[in-house]
Amino acid sequence: MTKVGLVRHGITEWNELSRAQGISDIPLNRVGIKQAQALAERLSLEEKWDVIISSDLSRAKETAQIIANKFNTSISIYDQRIREINCGEIEGTTEEERLQKWGSNWREIDLGMEKFEKVAKRGSEFLEEAVITYKDKRILVVSHGALIGLTLQQLLPEMFPTTYIENTSVTILENIRSKWSCDLYNCTKHF
């Protein structure tokens, strides 16, 4: 059995302002750093992780580094495939700004946003590869809300018709003989 812990990065200034971040490289703010520290403390008390993999965006890298420091280990890989959804022209905007700029049907306009299906595919392909590469290991993956949520919907559609992933939440998946199960979803008990 291979265990995968999916962690969303800590909060950023843009999260607090409800700005679409996408692939914009926004760092953690003070609250996000404290969230990551609380998560690292929680994880250090629960179980050891064999491998830590992070998105290459700074908010995920910072979160992963805080966890790795607590475990006195290093991050194994930074992987672009587990970046957040590319939000195209809406990156950096709030819902109010989008409504003003493109109108109430802005979601129906091609603004260069990455398709949900593509995000789900790259997330699930990444996890399928990781469980082969790190067979029978415990893999901690620090990524982003949309990537994690869409990947869960792809891997376990009956269990996850919709998802919402909190900052620094933990979701635990197990892969046994190529079958996925979810033991813990969107847990933030460390707050």
* pLDDT tens column, 97-155: 999 999 999 999 999 999 999 999 999 999 999 999 999 999 999 999 999 999 999 99
Which residues participate in the annotated binding site for substrate?
Answer: 8-15, 59
Which residues participate in the annotated binding site?
Answer: 8-15, 59
Residue 191: predicted pLDDT: 86
Report H helices in 47-136. 58-71, 95-102, 116-133
- Residues that are catalytic: 9, 84
* Residue carrying the six token digits 């790190």: 134
Residue 177: predicted pLDDT: 92
Supply the pTM of this predicted model: 0.96
pLDDT at 66 over 90: yes
Q: Residue 26: CB partners within 8 Å, gap ≥ 6?
A: 12, 13, 14, 57, 58, 59
- Mean pLDDT taken over the chain: 97
CATH tag, 2-87+115-187: 3.40.50.1240
Query: What distance in Å separates the CA atoms of residue 102 and residue 144, rounded to the nearest whole number?
Result: 26
Residue 46: predicted pLDDT: 87
